[in-house]
Amino acid sequence: MKFFDTPLAAGAVGSFPHLDAAEACKIVLDNFPEMPMWPQLPRISLLEQMEIQYSQGLPCIVIDHERSRMYFDTASDNTAELEKFYENIINDNVDYFALSREYSRGIYAMEEALKKADLSEVKYLKTQVTGPVSFALAIVDENKRAMYYNELFRDVIVKGLAMKARWQIRKFGKFGKRVICIIDEPILSAFGSSTYISVLRDDVVSLIKEMVEAIHSEGGIAGIHCCGNTEWTIPIDAGVDIINFDAFEYGYSIELYPEEIKKFLSEGGVLSWGIVPTSMKVDHYTSVSLMYVFEQYIDNLEAKGLDRKLLLRNSMLTASCGTGSVPIDRAERIAQLTRKVTGRIREKYAEYLV
């Protein structure tokens, strides 16, 4: 096994609806003591939105607060900004790409919380970064053309995001725990659709692989999150260690790749099952009923030739997606339910985890 020694750990995707960063950190530490993560808090500010949060240090960025959007200005003379950007890349100046408090209150609140906390239960610390494919396809230039189709700025995006991942690993690595960095790629669920017909598989794999290699260069564990159906061989081919997916709605999609998943797990890869729904459906489920949902998927994969013990030992559980857009009471219930269902499954399958 490559790294994972905490079977069926409970975790979270990362975003929370709270306006108080310290309060969000308490929810994290109370429910995910083995694998706490810094909370993304998109309701606090435009600057904490998914792509904008990681834009500091990237050249030619324009944040339009009035219209609540961000874009790249590629029409103006950008020579000086690009030179400064690549100079910091070449000089390996990771700190230049830090996330400031203004852009991420959660990082600094969690850092302070961890300094005061008992870390004896902590096995891993989790960080996250928006993936280069989702970032480049979501953010446009002054003419509303996706930056993915601008080869120069696509390179800028992946290199800038890779540095931000490395900066996070260094920051949280100071606590003496292994650091996981999850690459958030929601747009992969649309891969292969007519909208993105010109997005080539090899290019997607290459972009994610560059992120994975940057994370590994700092001794980090690289994961990917996609809250929809996608071609799961893409992250496998990119070399990720963890695949986090919406198992509640799309658990069947993993079953389409039994041989690839078997190889992935056999080499130490981990399936991170987003088994707790973040929609209103969560109101109709308990830890018992969610355990049955999880068991059904395990049964199906075992029927396709995967070893049950390997599956259970190389799995963790999360919510299906982030909870940044749901009411606070639901977000907190989702966190509690994730912890409870994990404990219930661990208790039932204890003999498989030794």
Cα-to-chain-centroid distance, residue 139: 19
Find, among 347, 260, 340, 277, the residue nearest to 312 by Cα: 347
Confirm if 106 and 41 have CB atoms less than 8 A apart.
yes
For residue 160, what is the enclosing H or E element?
helix 151-173
Question: Which of 223, 127, 134, 236 has the alpha carbon at shortest distance from 186?
Answer: 134
Question: CA-CA distances (angstroms) from residue 332 to 3, 28, 32, 227, 292?
Answer: 29, 9, 12, 19, 22
Predicted confidence at residue 194, as pLDDT, reads 80
Q: Which pLDDT belongs to residue 309? A: 96
Q: What's the pLDDT at 2?
A: 58
DSSP 3-state of 189: helix
Q: What is the pLDDT of residue 187?
A: 95
**CA distances to 30, 65, 198, 262, 339 from 295, in Å:** 26, 46, 38, 17, 16
Cα 128 to Cα 2: distance, rounded to the nearest angstrom: 20
d(CA 306, CA 295): 14
Residue 196's pLDDT is what?
87
CA within 13 Å, CB half, 288:
0
CB of 158 closer than 8 Å to CB of 197: no
Phi, psi of 141 (to 5 degrees): -95, -170
- The H-or-E segment that residue 354 falls in is none
Give the residue among 247, 229, 237 at the shortest CA–CA distance from 187. Answer: 229
Is 213 in a helix, a strand, or coil?
Answer: helix
Compute the distance between CA of residue 109 and CA of residue 166 in angstroms, rounded to an integer.
Answer: 19
CA 335 distance to own-chain centroid = 16
0.85 exceeded by the pTM? yes
At residue 268, what are phi and psi to the nearest 5 degrees? 105, 0
The owner of tokens 């690289």 is: 222
What residue ranges do the domains of the chain occupy?
A: 21-352
The CATH number of 21-352, from 1.25.40, 2.30.30, 3.20.20, 3.30.2420, is 3.20.20
One digit per residue, the tens of pLDDT, for the chain of length 354 reads 456 899 999 999 999 999 999 999 999 999 999 999 999 999 999 999 999 999 999 999 999 999 999 999 999 999 999 999 999 999 999 999 999 999 999 999 999 999 999 999 999 999 999 999 999 999 999 999 999 999 999 999 999 999 999 999 999 999 999 999 999 999 999 987 888 889 999 999 999 999 999 999 999 999 999 999 999 999 999 999 999 999 999 999 999 999 999 999 999 999 999 999 999 999 999 999 999 999 999 999 999 999 999 999 999 999 999 999 999 999 999 999 999 999 999 999 999 998
